[in-house]
């Protein structure tokens, strides 16, 4: 147990510098000279609250601990400014309302692709994403026929919990007219307003550290974004971190996608893959791609229908893999024999997938299949690439065909489940995730996404239990192993994400046992 320390002790220069380096490496946040007084005061508070003898003891603890522990959460919450409000930056809101939303909605109506994906990176307590939800409600009279994905992420779990709760004080509405507050919020007390359930259900909030390599990825739902808002976040980053995050944002954007930064953020005009643009004095980035045409849908041998999976027992079956041979069809004709895959071509395709060069991977896979015929692995690879490019329907169809050739590949079921989630086919997605767990009870990603699905449906207690199952599975796995479907994300780092998701929902709903 740490000894108690009174407030007001001094922080040595060496410890201060080491702590700044640790914060930058852990979160990407650069502590500026004018923030040092606040940092010293915060360290003093943490040592007093958590019982550290001095800054050195606290720093030593942080350096030895890989997880986002409460001490680090406390530190982050006090060195970042989480204050925001609805319809902040009127020029950007005007651009979205008058220019971008009408243009993208018309374009998607004409193509028959009625889906929109919007990400608020560094969402704080959610006002920005809810502002977008309100704009969409006004812009889409046929909203029920659209598939909308509104994602908010942050590293401050306290702010994320407030976003999920959706309750705000009067000060959050200082740029909002009374009509909007009356139509979209429910008053609770003299100075508290709660966003109406139909708008709350449109948004999803998750923990994500922009300094990590966990995006773009279908695993974090940060792929194929039509719009990314990351306002007043880069003020915490130095130039190299800013360029690194911009590069990843570029890969997260769908063709013709937009990226909006804050007025106080550093905005380099030259970024590979992004075109610096202007509208009525407001600057933004547009993904600079050649004319994009989505892959044509495959000709299914039968009309697309709901997916029926085998019933899953109440407890996962660890011996399934050992019984795989017995479960396979006895007739050789039942499953076409896969031709031997040329190693060099297969290795090249895997390299393209790992580097997230989806279009090149699709072209290489198509060439392979044209020459050698379909295999379960190649169909799965193609489905993964298409999913990450936002073409979820075709990804589901390809997964179905892959499963016909290899009914025991849990990776294919996971890709199909994530694509089904993109299509809002929740029951089928849940069935596919349970099938993954049936085939491999230690598949961390499946437990995690089952948890997020349950939480999204309001099943709080089962959702938290699934998050705990994901942590248990991570504990049985090498922490240094990289996740199959999240390049750069190790099991140890993913366990941190899971712990923070638990923290977010615990803070919102109270004790775990009190969940619904």
CB 72 within 8 A of CB 49: no
Per-residue pLDDT of the chain (516 residues; tens, 9 = 90+): 444 444 456 778 888 899 999 888 888 888 888 788 888 888 888 888 888 988 999 899 988 876 667 787 778 777 776 667 788 888 899 999 999 999 999 999 998 889 999 999 999 889 999 999 999 999 999 999 999 999 999 988 888 888 999 999 888 888 788 888 889 999 887 788 999 998 998 999 998 989 888 888 888 889 999 999 998 788 788 888 888 899 999 999 998 999 999 876 767 777 888 998 989 888 899 998 644 444 443 333 333 345 555 444 444 444 433 433 333 333 334 445 555 545 578 889 989 988 888 889 999 999 999 999 999 999 999 999 999 888 899 999 999 999 999 999 999 999 999 999 988 899 999 999 999 999 999 999 999 999 989 988 888 899 999 999 999 999 999 988 888 877 777 888 888 888 888 888 877 665 444 444
CATH for the 90-287 domain, from 3.90.180.10, 3.40.50.150, 1.10.760.10, 3.40.190.150: 3.40.50.150
Residue 315's contacts (CB-CB under 8 Å, 6 or more residues apart) are: none
- CA–CA distance, 25 with 30 (Å, rounded to integer): 9
Alpha-carbon span 66 to 213, nearest angstrom: 16
Dist. CA 337–CA 191, nearest whole Å: 68
- CATH code, 13-79: 1.10.155
Long-range contacts formed by 49-55: CB under 8 A, 24+ apart: 49/74, 50/2, 50/74, 51/1, 51/2, 51/3, 51/4, 51/5, 52/2, 52/5, 53/2, 53/3, 53/5, 54/5, 54/9, 54/15, 55/9, 55/11, 55/12, 55/15, 55/16, 55/19
DSSP 240-300: HHHHHHHHHHHHHEEEEEEEEE-TTS---S-BTTEEEEEETTEEEEEE--SPP-PPPPP--
Angle between helix 410-422 and 376-388 (nearest 10): 30
For residue 132, which of 112, 115, 109, 152 has the smallest C-alpha distance? 152
**End-to-end Cα spacing for the chain:** 35
Tell me, which fold does domain 321-325+340-514 have in CATH?
A: 1.25.40
The residue extents of the domains of the chain are: 13-79, 90-287, 321-325+340-514
d(CA 309, CA 416) in angstroms, rounded, equals 12
């Amino acid at each position: 147990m740490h000894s108690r320390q009174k407030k007001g002790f001094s922080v040595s220069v060496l410890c201060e510098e080491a702590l700044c380096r640790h914060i930058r490496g852990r979160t990407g946040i650069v502590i500026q000279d004018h923030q040092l007084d606040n940092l010293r005061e915060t360290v003093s508070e943490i040592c007093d609250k958590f019982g550290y003898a001095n800054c050195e003891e606290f720093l030593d603890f942080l350096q030895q601990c890989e997880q986002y522990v409460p001490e680090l959460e406390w530190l982050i919450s006090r060195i970042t400014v989480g204050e925001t409000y609805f319809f902040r930056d009127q020029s950007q809101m005007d651009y979205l309302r008058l220019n971008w939303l009408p243009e993208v909605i018309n374009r998607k109506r004409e193509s028959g692709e009625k889906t929109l994906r919007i990400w608020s990176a560094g969402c704080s307590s959610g006002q920005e994403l809810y502002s977008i939800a309100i704009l969409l409600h006004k812009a889409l009279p046929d909203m029920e026929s659209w598939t909308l994905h509104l994602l908010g992420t942050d590293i401050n779990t306290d702010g994320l919990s407030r976003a999920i709760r959706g309750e705000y004080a009067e000060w959050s509405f200082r740029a909002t007219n009374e009509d909007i507050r009356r139509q979209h919020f429910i008053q609770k007390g003299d100075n508290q307003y709660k966003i109406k359930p139909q708008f709350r259900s449109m948004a999803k909030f998750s923990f994500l550290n922009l300094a990590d390599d966990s995006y773009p990825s279908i695993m974090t739902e940060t792929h194929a974004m039509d719009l990314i808002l990351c306002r007043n976040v880069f003020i915490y980053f130095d130039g190299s971190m800013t360029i690194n995050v911009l590069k990843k944002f570029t890969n997260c954007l769908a063709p013709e996608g937009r990226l909006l930064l804050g007025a106080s953020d550093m905005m380099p005009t030259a970024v590979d893959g992004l075109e610096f643009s202007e509208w009525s004095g407001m600057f933004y980035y547009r993904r600079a791609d050649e004319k994009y045409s989505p892959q044509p849908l495959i000709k299914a041998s039968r009309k697309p229908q709901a997916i029926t999976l085998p019933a899953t027992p109440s407890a996962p079956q660890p011996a399934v893999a050992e019984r795989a041979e017995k479960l396979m069809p006895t007739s050789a004709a039942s499953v076409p024999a896969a031709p031997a895959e040329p190693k060099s071509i297969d290795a090249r395709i895997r390299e393209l997938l790992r580097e997230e060069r989806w279009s090149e991977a699709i072209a290489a896979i198509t060439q392979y299949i044209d020459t050698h015929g379909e295999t379960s692995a190649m169909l799965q690879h193609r489905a993964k690439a298409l999913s990450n490019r936002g073409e979820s329907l075709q990804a589901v169809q390809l997964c179905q065909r892959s499963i016909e050739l290899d009914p025991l590949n849990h990776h294919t079921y996971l890709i199909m489940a994530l694509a089904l989630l993109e299509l809002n086919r929740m029951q089928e997605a849940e069935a596919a995730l349970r099938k993954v767990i049936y085939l491999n009870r230690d598949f961390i990603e499946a437990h995690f996404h089952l948890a997020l699905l349950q939480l999204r449906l309001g099943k709080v207690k089962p959702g938290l239990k699934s998050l705990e199952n994901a942590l248990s599975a991570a504990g049985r796995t090498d922490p240094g192993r990289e996740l199959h479907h999240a390049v750069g994300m190790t099991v140890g780092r993913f366990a941190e994400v899971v712990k923070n998701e638990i923290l977010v929902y615990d803070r919102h709903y109270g004790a775990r046992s009190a969940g619904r």
